[in-house]
Amino acid sequence: MPERIQNWGYMMRHKIAALAATALLAGGALANATSASATVDPPSGGWDHTWTTSDSNPGGTAYIAEYGDIVSVCDTDADGVSPRVQIAVQYPSGAYHIRYTLTASGGEGACASARASMGGIYDLPEDTSISVAVWLGPDYGSVTTHYYVNDH
């Protein structure tokens, strides 16, 4: 095999190995950054509402910013149970209809978020009562329900 082709193969193996090492280090840094804090950065105006699950050591926190309809839920305890938040909108009849549910799966430090810019069900109506239920696990453990009028 010509020397030039052997050198090219040698250089490519080393470049691929270097890229893999860089990706591994970057992935580790990202994983640590994600799990280091079980909160999400507030939008520039801050969070309008913050609620936790009602268990003795709250395992989840919901964050609401009315402007932009930003909703986040984060796992705040290494208890093996994923927190959830469910958003419902009050219709003129007075009944609340569920828009969506978010689950912060992945253990302590994991968060899930939605915002109006995602469109559809995530764009909440203005001047309307919004219901926010926060709980742990699939069976509504430690559920708390809160309400606010979306006026931004």
Tens digits of residue pLDDT in 41-96: 888 889 999 999 998 889 999 999 999 999 999 999 999 999 999 999 999 999 99
The residues facing 70 across adjacent strands are 65
Which pTM does this prediction carry?
Answer: 0.74
Q: What is the pLDDT of residue 151?
A: 87
**How far lies 64's CA from each of 14, 18, 31, 46, 89, in Å?**
48, 42, 25, 9, 14
Confidence of residue 2 (pLDDT cuts 50, 70, 90): low
Round to whole Å and give the CA distance between 34 and 115.
Answer: 19
Assign 3 to helix, strand or coil: helix
Percent of the chain surpassing pLDDT 90: 64
Round to whole Å and give the CA distance between 40 and 108.
Answer: 13
Mean pLDDT taken over the chain:
82
**How far lies 83's CA from each of 62, 66, 127, 145, in Å?**
9, 21, 28, 14
Joined together, the tokens standing for residue 58 give 């709250």
111 has pLDDT over 90 = yes
Round to whole Å and give the CA distance between 81 and 143.
Answer: 13
Q: Write down the residue that tokens 């999400």 correspond to.
A: 40
Q: Note the Cα 120 to chain centre separation in Å.
A: 18
Round to whole Å and give the CA distance between 146 and 62.
Answer: 11
